Amino acid sequence: MLHQQNIYLDNNATTRVDERVLEAMLPYFTQLYANSTSQHIAGLTVNEAVENAAWQTADLINADAEEIIFTSGATEAINLAIKGLADQDRKHIITITTEHKAVLETCAFMESIGFKISYLPVGQDGLLDLNLLDQSITDNTLVFTGMLSNNETGVIQNVSKIAALLKSKNVLFICDATQAVGKIPVDVKTLGIDLLALSAHKFYGPKGIGALYISAKAKIKLTTQILGGGQQRKLRSGTLNVPGIIGLGKASEIAVNESEGDKKRIEILRDKLENDLLKFEGSFVNGNTKNRIYNTTNICFPGVNSEQLIMALGNISVSNGASCSAVTSEPSHVLKAMGLSDEEALSSIRFSLGRFTTSREIDIAVERVLALAGELVLQVRR
């Protein structure tokens, strides 16, 4: 009953597991529970299901099943991708200041072991200047790592042009596509991505499972980060999370068939929410409104403390940053990098809709947000 009482508009943080995904997973907890690497019939049966899930996941991004490594989520996938390149001769990494902390913190680690990191700024719209990227590449540049869709603003970078530039300079491309995969078409071959990270729980799958795509064509040799029994072609040892993998595969299959329908419906709801909330005096959208994903809007309500507003909203779940907790007293590094002041960043709210969001919930949320934001502004003025 919890999801019926709660109006959940924080789908970029995590999503509700689709009941079809849960149904597919359940037998692998209680009936088909054998270790997928065991050589008996029960193990081989489970392994066949794992291989099918790998195919389903690969199909979602137009990859081959052999190019998929299952991880605990996008954060681990990003760590494997970046740290796995530590033994390469070139020692320069380029990234963007608006990246997720999983990328920024891993880059900081790489800096501590001798790599040079270039953190490129973005414009006020959140987009990267490709000329600046071009100028930042040197003979020592090994890899560029950049998001497809930003988790806080939804801004979509021009990935295909970025990839073309990198390829012309013989630079690898790591793409954090966590907020895009399962929502919009992501074709790693057409886009020219060498490594890509994703998480199931961002598109109605379970938490604790994700994947790293590693292009076979790029012939990338990653240094293993987790040693042990040599599972997954010795790139990521450990007993496989079979129920999670089955859930990721099923969520991928559903996304292939239904994401376009989700887009049409959710985008209408997002635009309605945004247009109504922008009636608040002085409010504005953070980030580019043309190049962004359809489920996300990040709005600044001048004079309103976002932390207070989130707490006042109670059963309406929204966010003011990328933290796993919806409430943080620190201004968003993403919004700061886009030129917002501390006060503006701390007055901004991210609304992210999903497959289960209804029109009625949007109407209620708009009414509550506008009323409570107005009260908070009056309190400040007093």
Annotated active-site positions, please? 324
The amino acid present at 80, given as its one-letter code, is L
Q: Using CA atoms, how far apart are residues 119 and 94, in angstroms rounded to an integer?
A: 6
Q: Which residues pair with 210 in a beta bridge?
A: 71, 199
Contact 21, 247 (CB under 8 A): yes
Residue 382: Cβ within 10 Å count: 5
Chain position carrying tokens 């000329």:
131
Residue 134 is inside which H or E element, if any? helix 130-136
Q: Distances from the Cα of 316 to the Cαs of 202, 203, 250, in angstroms? A: 19, 20, 29
Q: How far is Cα 361 from Cα 4, in angstroms, rounded to an integer? A: 10
Q: Identify which of 53, 12, 116, 5 has the alpha carbon closest to the alpha carbon of residue 242.
A: 53
Which DSSP string corresponds to 94-110?
Answer: EEETTS-HHHHHHHHHH
Contacts for 373-377: CB closer than 8 Å, 24+ residues apart? 373/280, 373/301, 373/304, 373/309, 374/280, 375/312, 376/303, 376/304, 376/305, 376/308, 376/309, 376/312, 377/303, 377/304
Q: Is residue 306 within 8 Å of 283, Cβ to Cβ?
A: no
**CA pair distance 181, 48, nearest whole angstrom:** 24
